[in-house]
């Protein structure tokens, strides 16, 4: 397949019009939106507006929309998650929200004592689970992700899972996994960091219990954007939060000394929200009101499919680690090579940005809102040429260690 065919695919792409809304790094093919999504001018403007309101009105900014901003952002996010607005709170980091969700999940099953986690999950998930267990007296049981379903027995209170594996890009069938856990009476806590904004999520329909995710990957909220947490409505009566910050109070500005939680998931708001980054996130989500998530998911499948097919033909030294069935992956493809780190560095010098996960994975994210089919073609063309020339062996001193999640 040649470059022109990829250009024709771009011309037919219904999401093509959306790409123009993003300020992509100039002269580069950006395949790292699964780590840090791209910037939109409206996001720049929103951050600038906050600074301007601060300058002009100082404390008066709180009466000019800042107090309601977390709620309005959660309202927008509800549409992206297939949830009701009062099932979502926007606050804190994913790690902190995981803590809240795990504690809440354990409190929904007080007669049980096991917290089941996949040991190969994203490190923060495993660390937070161990901290929660130590604090609550629950036992962590660690198994590998592929046998998680079979490890759920009637002592398991909470199952913590990632929807999409951050290394391999493998996606589990969320609705099916929820069904299995529910049959055994366990609560599921989902980490959706690598699917939110890339897939057509339907948390209510799939009967998820609790979920968390970050906003700086496919949601493009900016570095360190506030994360979110979901709690299904049927649990709201019994929903407990261990972090009872005043912004999660039903009436924060009554300054009451007795705690009354805010409605539904909004009780997971915690302390004073980071207005600068919250305003950026609120603006970044607007684009999702212009697209159908089914289109976004379909394009993720097509971009990753094209990448895999081209790699198969042109880069025979690379093993495709990500599942080939579109329903078993999201918008990421991982490739295995012993010199993964050197290859990613050399690719970056050629203008193609991906990342490396130790020891031997090259990771590429295909954010459907702004990555095109010609980008995919160009990336594989560079990769194939690089493998032929072996010029990654020149040394990899200038490669970033990959600090970004």
Ligand X SMILES: *Cc1c(COP(=O)(O)O)cnc(C)c1O
What is the SS3 assignment for 336?
Answer: strand
Whether 122 is catalytic is: yes
* Interacting residue with ligand X among 30, 122, 228, 370 (CB under 6 A): 122
Task: Yes or no: say if 135 and 115 are a contact pair by the CB < 8 Å rule.
Answer: no
- Which position has the token pair 């990421």? 332
Q: Calculate the alpha carbon distances from 15 to 5, 131, 197, 217, 354 in Å.
A: 17, 42, 14, 18, 22
Select which of 22, 99, 122, 370 is catalytic. Answer: 122
Does position 226 interact with ligand X (CB under 6 A)? The reply is: no
Q: Indicate whether 162 belongs to the interface with ligand X (CB under 6 A).
A: yes
Q: Which is nearer to ligand X, 95 or 220 (CB)?
A: 95
The least distance separating ligand X from the CB of residue 96, rounded to whole angstroms, comes to 7
The residue range among 136-144, 187-195, 292-300, 394-402 that interacts with ligand X, by the rule CB under 6 A, is: 187-195
3-state secondary structure at position 151:
helix
166 binds ligand X, rule: CB under 6 A: yes
Which of 101, 158, 227, 310 contacts ligand X by CB under 6 A? 227
Nearer to ligand X, 138 or 214 (CB): 214
- Number of Cβ within 10 Å of residue 259's Cβ equals 12
Is there binding between residue 195 and ligand X (CB under 6 A)?
A: no
> Which of 86, 191, 375, 381 is an active site residue?
191
Of residues 37 and 405, the one with the C-beta less far from ligand X = 405
Distance CA 152, CA 42 (A): 45
Secondary structure class of 270 (helix, strand, coil): coil
Active-site annotation holds for 299: no
Site string for ligand X, 81-120 (x = CB under 6 A): ------------xxx-------------------------
Which pair of structure tokens corresponds to residue 385?
């040429």
Q: E strands within 258-382? A: 319-320, 332-336, 352-353, 355-357, 361-365
What is the DSSP pairing of strand 228-231 with strand 332-336?
A: unpaired
Pairing of strands 355-357, 361-365: antiparallel
Taking CB under 6 A as the criterion, the residue among 86, 87, 125, 355 binding ligand X is 125
User: Interface with ligand X includes 69 (CB under 6 A)?
Assistant: no
Angle at CA of residue 131, ends 127 and 135, nearest 5°: 170
Q: Which residues bind ligand X (CB under 6 A)?
A: 93-95, 122, 124-125, 162, 166, 191, 193-194, 214, 227, 405
Active centre residues (catalytic)? 122, 191, 216-217, 363
């Amino acid at each position: 397949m040649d470059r022109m065919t990829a250009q024709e695919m771009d011309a037919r792409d219904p999401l093509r019009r959306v790409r123009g809304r993003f300020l992509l790094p100039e002269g580069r093919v950006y395949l790292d939106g699964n780590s840090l999504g791209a910037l939109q001018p409206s996001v720049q403007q929103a951050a600038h507006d906050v600074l301007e309101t601060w300058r002009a009105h100082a404390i008066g900014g709180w009466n000019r929309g800042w107090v309601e901003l977390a709620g309005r952002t959660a309202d927008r996010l509800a549409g992206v998650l297939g949830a009701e607005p009062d099932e979502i709170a926007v606050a804190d980091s994913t790690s902190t929200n995981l803590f809240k969700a795990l504690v809440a999940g354990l409190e929904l099953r007080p007669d049980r004592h096991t917290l089941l986690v996949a040991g190969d999950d994203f490190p923060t998930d495993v660390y937070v689970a161990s901290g929660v267990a130590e604090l609550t007296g629950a036992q962590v049981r660690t198994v590998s992700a592929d046998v998680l379903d079979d490890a759920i027995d009637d002592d398991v209170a909470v199952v913590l899972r990632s929807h999409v594996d951050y290394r391999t890009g493998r996606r589990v069938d969320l609705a099916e996994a929820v069904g299995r856990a529910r049959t055994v009476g366990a609560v599921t806590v989902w980490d959706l960091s690598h699917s939110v904004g890339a897939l057509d999520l339907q948390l209510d329909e799939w009967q998820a219990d609790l979920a968390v995710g970050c906003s700086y990957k496919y949601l493009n909220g900016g570095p360190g954007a506030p994360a979110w947490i979901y709690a299904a409505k049927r649990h709201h009566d019994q929903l407990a939060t261990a972090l009872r910050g005043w912004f999660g109070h039903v009436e924060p500005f009554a300054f009451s000394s007795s705690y009354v939680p805010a409605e539904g998931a909004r009780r997971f708001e915690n302390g004073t929200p980071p207005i600068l980054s919250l305003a950026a996130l609120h603006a970044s989500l607007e684009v999702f009101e212009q697209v159908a998530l089914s289109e976004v998911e379909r394009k993720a499948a097509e971009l990753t499919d094209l990448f895999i097919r081209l790699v198969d033909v042109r880069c025979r030294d690379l093993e495709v680690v990500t599942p080939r069935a579109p329903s078993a992956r999201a918008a990421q493809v991982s490739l295995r090579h012993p010199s993964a780190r050197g290859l990613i560095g050399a690719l970056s010098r050629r203008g193609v940005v991906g990342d490396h996960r130790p020891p031997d994975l090259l990771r590429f994210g295909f954010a459907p809102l702004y990555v095109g089919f010609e980008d995919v073609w160009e990336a594989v063309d560079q990769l194939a040429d690089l493998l032929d020339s072996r010029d990654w062996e020149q040394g990899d001193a200038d490669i970033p260690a990959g600090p970004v999640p």
